[in-house]
Amino acid sequence: MREFAKSHKLDHVCYDIRGPVMDEANMMEAAGEKILKLNIGNPATFGFNAPDDVMQVMSSSLPLAQGYSDSHGIIAAREAIIRYDEYRGIKGVTPADIYTGNGVSELITMSMQGLLDSGDEVLVPSPDYPLWTASVTLAGGTAVHYVCDESADWNPDIEDIKKKITPNTKAIVIINPNNPTGAVYEKDLLMQIVEVARENGLIIFSDEIYDRLLMDDAVHTSIASLAGDDVFCITFSGLSKSHMSAGFRIGWMSLSGNKKAARGYIEGLNMLSSMRLCSNVPAQHMVATALDPASFGKKDPLLLPGGRIYDQREFIYNALNSIDGISAVKPKAAFYIFPKMDIKKFGITNDEQFVLDFLREKKILLVHGGGFHWGAPDHFRIVYLPDMDTLSASMQGLKEFLADYKQN
């Protein structure tokens, strides 16, 4: 029988959030086990609903949304995105500079496919949201990871960035606010990254999908607002997280700065955008309502004391730090935390094995730090969206498990 293998393009592509550990959890579930899942940032599955007004506008727009739209998206959505960009200080964005996508995910892949040739390098954070590394690799480029510094609230290490630039480096990716750390980058540091991009002729890709999920006094700065006219930036955002509507698949990217220098690349983006015809049209109709200027700068009550995300963040942060051998930096945004394990104490040399052992014994699913291209086997990620009972049971489980865990 003729057999069919995956293409060689996928040989080095890795997306472990939905990888082998999750496969094992699915098998356990199929066998009737109940698994507590702290592994995927999918708000709807934890009882978070999209706001009524955006749901309403999308369903009432269905009759208008039966055909393909312009490949960039409907004009009302793009104008709303431009207003939002202007509010964030990103200047000079025109409707032609906006591309709506089936989630930010599609645009990440598209933006890498349009840019990279074999041998091109892209600086990507470690830890990262792994789709970035996967997309660089799939596009034939090489992801070179720069370190984010846990002791500096997980801000990128600028010296490490500088050290990793070579003549082949074409771009730098930042994820701000960050998944998996929950960090919000300081303005001063963003200015230094712009300077590095300017000096080395790099494109800046900034994934800002969590920019409206800030807690405490965190202030988010879009790096494109600092970049001026001479550095080309692509800023990504969408409604999956801010409007708890991941299943509707709507995200966008905005091009700003030195578009002249990127003329050829933009031609490629237009080609790729046209090849997939357009993004999901009903979801595009949500954008203008979701980005109503009256909502700019207003915090969702879920992110304030007494709100579910805020309270769950407080709980998980305190619970983790009270476990012997675990420490965690407090996240300032999104709904992830990236705790550190004392690997000497637990004899851990393989973090994927650790999450697998924990899954098998306690039926609780986490993602190992290596899944985010973190270099040492000493971290894991928790999504703290599940309700307080689930989080509480999970933390109790982790405490019990680690009380006598020794991997080696």
Ligand X SMILES: Cc1ncc(COP(=O)(O)O)c(C=O)c1O
Length of the chain measured in residues: 408
Asked if residue 207 binds ligand X (CB under 6 A), the reply is: yes
Residues 224-253 that bind ligand X (CB under 6 A): 238, 240, 246, 251
Asked if 365 and 27 touch (Cβ cutoff 8 Å), the reply is no
Interface segment toward ligand X; rule CB under 6 A; list 103-111, 191-199, 342-350, 365-373: 103-111
Contact call for residue 175 and ligand X (CB under 6 A): yes
Pick 38 or 402: Cβ nearer ligand X: 38
Residue 143's beta-bridge partner residues?
A: 122
Determine, following the binding rule CB under 6 A, whether residue 25 of this chain makes contact with ligand X.
no
Closer of 42 and 295 to ligand X (Cβ): 42
> Could you tell me which residues are beta bridge partners of residue 123?
144, 172
Rule CB under 6 A: choose which of 61, 69, 100, 105 binds ligand X.
105
DSSP E strands, 233-359 = 233-238, 251-256, 326-327, 336-337, 340-341
| Collapsed DSSP state (helix, strand, coil) of residue 125 | strand
Dihedral of CA atoms 278, 15, 35, 249 in degrees, nearest 10, equals -10
Using the contact rule CB under 6 A, the part of the chain among 71-79, 99-107, 276-284, 299-307 near ligand X is 99-107
Cβ-based nearer residue to ligand X, 169 or 176: 176
For 70: left if phi > 0, alpha if psi spans -120 to 50, otherwise beta; the answer is beta
Classify the C-alpha dihedral 224-229-231-232 as positive or negative: positive
Measured from the CB of residue 337, what is the shortest distance to ligand X in angstroms? 14
| 109 counts as binding ligand X under rule CB under 6 A | no
CB-wise, 21 or 175, nearer to ligand X? 175
Which of 43, 103, 257, 377 is in the footprint of ligand X by CB under 6 A?
103
DSSP string, 279-314: S-HHHHTTHHHHT-GGGTTPPPGGGSTTSHHHHHHH
Taking the complex as a whole, the smallest distance from the CB of residue 360 to ligand X amounts, in Å, to: 26
Asked if residue 104 binds ligand X (CB under 6 A), the reply is yes
In 3D space, the residue among 211, 210, 202, 264 whose CA is nearest the CA of residue 234 turns out to be 202
Residue 315 buriedness (CB in 10 A; 0-12 / 13-18 / 19+): middle
Residue placing its CB nearer to ligand X in the complex, 202 or 239? 239
CA–CA separation, 29 vs 405, rounded Å?
A: 24
Nearer to ligand X, 107 or 323 (CB): 107
Q: Applying CB under 6 A, does 214 fall inside the site for ligand X?
A: no
8-state DSSP, 124 = E
Among 46, 48, 99, 129, binds ligand X (CB under 6 A): 129
Q: Site size for ligand X, by CB under 6 A?
A: 13
The alpha-helical segments, DSSP class H, found in 94-173 are 103-113, 131-138, 158-163
Which amino acid belongs to residue 341?
M
331 is a contact residue toward ligand X (CB under 6 A) = no
| Residue of this chain nearest to ligand X (CB atom) | 103
Stretches 18-26, 80-88, 97-105, 116-124: which one binds ligand X (CB under 6 A)? 97-105
**Positions in 268-307 near ligand X (CB under 6 A):** none
Residue (46 or 346) nearer to ligand X, CB? 46
| CB-nearer residue toward ligand X: 309 or 402 | 309
Residues that bind ligand X (CB under 6 A): 41, 103-105, 129, 175, 179, 207, 209, 238, 240, 246, 251
